[in-house]
Structure 1
Amino acid sequence: MTMRQLGLSIYPDHSDQDKDESYILQGEKYGFTRIFMSMLEVKDVLATKKKYKHIINFGNLHGFTTTLDVSPNIFKTIGASYTDLTFFKELGVTGIRLDQGFDGITEAELSFNPEHLIIELNMSNDTGYLDNILSYQANEPFIYGCHNFYPQIGTGLEEEFFIRTSKRFKKRGIHTAAFISSHCGNFGPWNVNDGLPTRECDRNLPIEAQAKSLFMTNLIDDVIIGNAYASEVEMKRLSCIDRYELSFNVNISNNISAVEKKILLNEKHYRRGDSNALVARSTMSRVKYRDINNPCHDNDKKFHVGDIVVGNDNFGIYKNELQVVLKSHYDTRKNKVAEIDKVDIPLLKYLKPWTKFKFKDITY
């Protein structure tokens, strides 16, 4: 299985070397292992090579791999060719991302480069681009995919489009990446910066909510902060998310009982396979705690989407069963024990039959 990574972005043409090094060290502290770097313009080849090589090697020394974003015109500027990627290898990069595509056969040939660099493709196109490349018998282990980011507000990918284009890559077993946006970062490669997410729906969300949602699509392997510099608080929050299991931040009700709190936070949950539209049911707790009393509380008001309820003493064999509310309803046989934080409500779409999930208490 491909291990999921967190990444950060560095823009040597717009940043300070000392700040870049500090940012990399901060990323290392919080488990980041990937760097996205842009080289879309080169004025002085020797100076550029020296500057990029320094920061890339610094990242390599601290456990990072670096992918360099390049456009076709860069090859001429730096004196590289599609049959000789020595320039990029000497920089110390792990791979190059082709911001613009070629004709399919060129990308296939590039994937057999003797420098063994990964060739990363632009995923944000709903075309047969990938299939065309693979039809030329590309070296598939060296073909990766990475979405674009979108600095201008309102121009990020729509969810449906994002899913469709990502599936093109994932169904072929291609390693994938997408971008999230820091609310502290104030620059990227361009002079417009309304954030740098891949999906428009992520632009205004807390950074950890963006990342959780991307990982839970099961279509994205690496999540990269697009703009620089993210704050240490943001990086720490990202380091705490579960990259593999669906997790909801919850605010716990004041009247929650001891058994309910144990059920909520300590038990392993999964949604029953015979799903319904009203609630997502986690039923093993009713078996484990069937002999434990659970008096009524917080049961006289309408439950709303995202509420977490547990069956009380009046619910017969369903006593101590945990349910996540998917449609508003009344039922006095259930106690409200918590509610999902509003920014995590969109994650409910990933709560499918047999999905494993858990809760994290963020009660203030």
Structure 2
Amino acid sequence: MNMKHELGISVYPDLMPLEKIESYFELASRYGVSKVFSSMFSVEGTKEEVLDYFKKLIVAAHKNKLKVSLDVNPMCFEKMGAKPDDLSVFKSIDVDFLRMDLSYGPENDAKLVRNPYGITIEFNNSPQIVKGLIENGIDPKDFLVCHNFYPQRYTAMKWNKFVNKNKELKACSRDVRIGAFISSTAPNTHGVWDAICGLPTVEKLRMLPIDLQARMLLATGDVDDILIGNAFASEDEFKKLQEVLQENEKLSKELDPTLKMLVDHGIISLDKPVKKLRVTLDEEITEKEKEVLFDFFPHLEMGDSSEWIWRTRVSRFKYSQPNEILTPRHYDKEMFEVGDVVIVNDNYKHYAGEIQIVKIPIVNDGTRNRIGHLDSDEYQMMELVYDGDLVEFLEK
């Protein structure tokens, strides 16, 4: 990855007054948003009207330190009087990115990237386009790839197709940056073509909590940039996304001493992204249990979990010590169920402090305290937590 993950928003100046959009820019910029996407070819009007429309939008975005990407296609190019080797009309409105909804072919796509104005070109999610650019001498660091969004419910991409397509793109070069869309689930959102059910790239993400959508995309390891397809996302959604998109600064600043020792001795490696799980806590959870769950960072699966549970193991090296007390607590059910988050207690002192997630129901034998649960939506993340992964827990 050649830079940190970026978060973007989408706006529709033909559907909302510029004053409301400017307020949205101000809110978004406070929470780490760096990019604005808008569809130029879906706006009606003369060439002059459309250019004036977007020039004002871009001025407002730049005032809030946001870069602007405009979705264009060959028909839009013709209307604007642009050509692959002449993007001067787009330079006149100071746009930062152009997202090409359709390809002009390898040679002309290469001309687009080589434009003299510093406009970055984004292409559709096609390995063939990427291969054509590379064959024409284009450095993969000099362009972007951005998936489509899908206004109509039940029509967005299959999850497996999305994952495999990204692997194809990254196989061309790991330097290819990939962007994808997620949906705000705030009330009364809007988007192109009467979109009222979100605007995601992948259908299974459409109505999930927004930060879970983002965490699932990031957990694949191949998505670099995330854009909210519909507007307007809420401030609470921005807060949760900011928490999710924070880079792994903790790995150098807040690493637990127990983990640091293992890293220093070459026993484990932290050269990988941290996957984040949001836990619904039980009311009975103690402060000590919260400390193990949230403050021990990061949790690490050592590659030997069974089919029944995902387990951290490393935290026990600290919390199984005699000076650490993890008092057993009664739980009135005979079994722990799928999605239960448990901690090994002092009834099994050698393993005390292990955080475990139940994948197949297990017997409650008194050696574990239930401290929380992954709800059915959240549990989907477990499909993306692999052997040897680093995990951070967030409170739901």
Q: Does 1:55 align with 2:57?
A: yes
- Offset of residue 258 of structure 1: 4.1
- Offset of residue 159 of structure 1: 0.5
- Offset of residue 25 of structure 1: 0.8
Partner residue, 2:353: 320
Distance 1:338 1:188 in 2: 37
Distance 1:40 1:258 in 2: 55
The one of 155, 178, 182 aligned to 2:180: 178
Distance 1:226 1:112 in 2: 28
Q: Does 1:153 align with 2:148?
A: no
- Offset of residue 229 of structure 1: 1.8
Distance 2:364 2:215 in 1: 31
Distance 2:153 2:84 in 1: 35
The one of 237, 250, 256 aligned to 2:279: 250
Once structures 1 and 2 are overlaid, which stretch shifts more, 186-195 or 89-98? 186-195
Distance 2:395 2:194 in 1: 40
Query: Letter of the aligned partner of 1:168 in structure 2?
Result: E
Whether the 8 Å contact between 2:72 and 2:100 is mirrored in structure 1 is yes
Query: Letter of the aligned partner of 1:250 in structure 2?
Result: V
Once structures 1 and 2 are overlaid, which stretch shifts more, 185-194 or 320-329? 185-194
Q: 1:27-38 counterparts in 2 under 5 A?
A: 27-38=28-39
Distance 2:198 2:98 in 1: 23
Once structures 1 and 2 are overlaid, which stretch shifts more, 69-78 or 102-111? 102-111
The one of 119, 122, 128 aligned to 1:120: 122
Stretches of structure 2 that go unaligned for 5 or more consecutive residues are 248-273
- Offset of residue 196 of structure 1: 0.6
Q: What is the percent sequence identity of the aligned residues?
A: 31
Distance 2:18 2:284 in 1: 53
Distance 2:362 2:285 in 1: 20
Q: Deviations over 1:4-33 (max 9, x none)?
A: 111111122222111111111111122211
Query: Letter of the aligned partner of 1:202 in structure 2?
Result: L
- Offset of residue 234 of structure 1: 2.3
- Offset of residue 252 of structure 1: 2.2
CA-atom RMSD in angstroms: 1.9
Q: Does 1:218 align with 2:221?
A: yes
The one of 332, 336, 354 aligned to 2:388: 354
Partner residue, 1:228: 231
Once structures 1 and 2 are overlaid, which stretch shifts more, 249-258 or 332-341? 249-258
TM-score, scaled to structure 1: 0.92
Q: Deviations over 1:51-91 (max 9, x none)?
A: 21111122112111111100101111111111111111121
Query: Letter of the aligned partner of 1:178 in structure 2?
Result: A
- Offset of residue 326 of structure 1: 2.0
TM-score, scaled to structure 2: 0.85
Whether the 8 Å contact between 1:270 and 1:282 is mirrored in structure 2 is yes
- Local SS of the residue matching 1:115: coil
Distance 2:194 2:343 in 1: 51
Once structures 1 and 2 are overlaid, which stretch shifts more, 90-99 or 38-47? 38-47
In structure 2, do the counterparts of structure 1 residues 320 and 229 end up closer, same or farther at CA, with 3 Å as the change threshold? closer
- Offset of residue 224 of structure 1: 0.8
Pairs aligned (count)? 360
Q: Deviations over 1:320-360 (max 9, x none)?
A: 22212222211412221221243321111222122111222
Distance 1:119 1:185 in 2: 32
Once structures 1 and 2 are overlaid, which stretch shifts more, 56-65 or 153-162? 56-65
Partner residue, 2:241: 238
Q: 1:53-202 counterparts in 2 under 5 A?
A: 53-123=55-125, 125=126, 128-171=128-171, 172=173, 173-183=175-185, 184-202=187-205
Distance 2:276 2:301 in 1: 13
Query: Letter of the aligned partner of 1:312 in structure 2?
Result: N
